[in-house]
Amino acid sequence: MPLKDSIEAVRSEFRAALGSFPDNPQDVESLRVRFLGRKGAIAKLFAQFAQVPSEEKPRYGQELNRLKKEITEQFNTAVAQQQSESGSAQETSFDYSLPGYPFRLGKNHPLTQTLDEIKEIFTRIGFSVAYGPEVEDDFHNFQALNIPEHHPARDMQDTFFIEKNIVLRTHTSNVQIHLMEENSPPLRYIVPGRVYRNEAISFKSYCLFHQIEGLYVDRQVTFTELKGTLEYFIHQLFGPDAKIRFRPSFFPFTEPSAEVDLWNEERNQWMEILGCGMVDPAVFENVGYDPAEWHGYAFGLGIERITMLKYHIQDIRLFYQNDVRFLEQF
């Protein structure tokens, strides 16, 4: 049979089969294979096409491609229509008196909840929120913060090095350097973000955690203002009856420095929750501020530690295991 007649024969045969389109999925697949399969009617026409004289190949090639496209589109349309009709039939037979299926709604992670609450407290008293790089150069992460190379304070933070002078930041204090480099005082910012330290993972330590850095720079800033700000923050977060204390400490980028402890009734002991102090004049000099004119305070707190105390969580690793049983409690 000439190829032209074969093409018309296949077209007529498919139209006849389409008129009695099967309901059974297996029969539908058999129909597809019969015409569009690797050994189906279209494939046989292309095999016959190889015997066509060269001068007639362009014309018959177009005819074959047109037929294949036509059959494919009509088959897909018939399948879609059948599925639509099937869905409509199921919908009309649905019993609307049956109780619905409850949707499981997601919630913010407990760390996010605590972080949002902390940001709301500080923005309420005039702090703006800023963010900065997690991959940082040595200058912003250490040197500008009064921690030069070989300084003993570097041993306090086990650092992940990307390159010789590029690190995963060990604290959010790096952003206070960026802020002071890019802005003229006065400044009042909090800086939330992730930080990284090469520490052994246990119930109380992890290789990454979250901090909030606070920075206030202005003329005649005092340690008394720092204490008042932090007392207000802690009482807003933990309630007016929370017991706190300030005790002297050391940080390379603040002088004087202090740590703030919260009394934990459950453990019957003081728990350290943040570090703070007046910005060291050397840090101001590193960013081009005149320490004789400008003063400031800084503080840093760990979100995981705060969240563990607030919700009585005993193991920091629970925050990172994505256990739905744990997360659903919040």
Question: Using one digit for the tens of pLDDT, what is the confidence trace for 72-83?
Answer: 888 888 888 877
Q: What is the mean pLDDT of residues 53-70?
A: 83
88-125 burial, b for 16+ CB within 10 Å, e for fewer? Answer: eeeeeeeeeeeeeeeeeeeeeebbeebbeebeebbeee
**Residues 5-54: tens digit of each pLDDT:** 888 888 888 888 877 878 778 888 888 888 888 888 888 888 887 787 88
3-state SS class at 19: helix
Do 142 and 115 contact (CB within 8 A), yes or no? no
The single-letter DSSP state of residue 105 is P
Q: Decide if pLDDT at 154 tops 70.
A: no
The pLDDT score that the predictor gives to residue 78 is: 84
The dihedrals phi and psi of 10, each to the nearest 5 degrees, come to -65, -40
Q: How far is the C-alpha of 300 from the C-alpha of 190, rounded, in Å?
A: 9
Domain boundaries, the chain: 3-92, 111-327
Q: How far is the C-alpha of 133 from the C-alpha of 135, rounded, in Å?
A: 5
Q: Decide if pLDDT at 226 tops 70.
A: yes
- The answer to which of 40-54, 136-150, 183-197, 242-256 has the lowest mean pLDDT is 40-54
Q: What is the mean pLDDT of residues 195-213?
A: 86
**Residues 7-16: tens digit of each pLDDT:** 888 888 888 8
- The pairing of strands 254-264 and 269-279 is antiparallel
| Structure tokens belonging to residue 323 | 């256990």
Pick the CATH number of 111-327 from 1.10.10.10, 3.40.50.300, 3.10.20.30, 3.30.930.10: 3.30.930.10
| Structure tokens belonging to residue 226 | 């720092």
The DSSP H or E segment spanning 18 is helix 3-19
Residue 84: left if φ>0, alpha if ψ -120 to 50, beta else—which one? alpha
Q: What is the mean pLDDT of residues 1-7?
A: 78
The pLDDT score that the predictor gives to residue 286 is: 93
Q: What is the mean pLDDT of residues 160-178?
A: 91
CA–CA–CA angle 187, 208, 204 (5° rounding): 110
The dihedrals phi and psi of 214, each to the nearest 5 degrees, come to -120, 140
pTM attached to this predicted model = 0.66
CA gyration radius, the chain: 35
The pLDDT score that the predictor gives to residue 157 is: 66
Q: How many CB atoms lie within 10 A of CB 213?
A: 23
| Confidence at 186, pLDDT banded by 50, 70, 90 | very high
The length of the chain is: 330
The pLDDT score that the predictor gives to residue 193 is: 94
